[in-house]
Structure 1
Amino acid sequence: MSHHKDDEAHAEHDKDEKKTTWTENVELVGDELIASVKKLAAEGKVRRIRIVEPDGDIVVDMPLTLGAIAGGAVVLAAPMLAILGALASYVTKVRVEIVRSGPGPASPSPKKDSMPA
């Protein structure tokens, strides 16, 4: 799977559960969309998936709740899969915004230049 991850992670607070969430942006080619969304939905810590066209329009905004997970298997409604399939054949590249719960990715510590004493 060829995709590009942006290095940005945006922290925000979930008002309902008082937990920290962060957003990851991934660019996908259209034919990778359905498999990637299924995999993300199965992760458990993904709270929401937004699919954004290159012009910035949000095409799909899909909240994922604990109710959508049954016995470890994610149940995606057939209409949503049909929409994703149509979208995948229509666009060449989309940006997927993945809102995850929990602490964000660890930011690398800045390198200190060693100065001669």
Structure 2
Amino acid sequence: MTTKETFTLSGENLLKKIKELIAEGNIRKITITDKSGKELMSFPMTLGLVGALLAPVLAAVGAMAALVSECNITVERNEPGQEAEGTKVP
């Protein structure tokens, strides 16, 4: 089971907030929408999305942040104790 949390912030703070959320580590999916609710970007936070694979996502978020004045970030989090997808050990 996952929980959802939504943040409203200005475009200039978007990249900083995304980096903070990624650092928390219990994120399943991040969706960015404009102030009217139109989805601009959505990406899953799988276990393998680190380092070099994360750089293009952050670059795209940074470019988008320059274009929007206000946006919403919806974060799907794993419940405490729940294993992330693809992390089960046989």
Question: TM-score per shorter chain, which class?
Answer: 0.7 to 0.9
- Which ranges of structure 2 fall in alignment gaps of 5 or more residues? 81-90
Return the match for 2:11 from 18, 30, 54.
30
- Which ranges of structure 1 fall in alignment gaps of 5 or more residues? 1-19, 104-117
Between the two proteins, the alignment pairs up a number of residues equal to 80
Q: How does 1:101-112 map to 2 (within 5 A)?
A: 101-102=78-79
> Distance in 2 between the 1:58 and 1:102 partners?
24
Q: Normalising to structure 2: TM-score of the pair? A: 0.78
State whether structure 2 residue 69 is matched by structure 1 residue 92: yes
Q: Normalising to structure 1: TM-score of the pair? A: 0.62
Return the match for 2:21 from 40, 44, 48.
40
Structure number with greater CO (CA < 8 Å, separation at least 6) is 2
Runs of 4+ deviating beyond 2 Å? 74-79
> Distance in 1 between the 2:43 and 2:72 partners?
14
Classify the secondary structure of the residue corresponding to 2:74: strand
Return the match for 1:81 from 50, 53, 58.
58
The 1:21/1:68 distance shift into structure 2, 3 A limit, reads same
Let me know the Cα RMSD of the aligned residues.
Answer: 1.7
Tell which structure's C-alpha radius of gyration is larger.
1
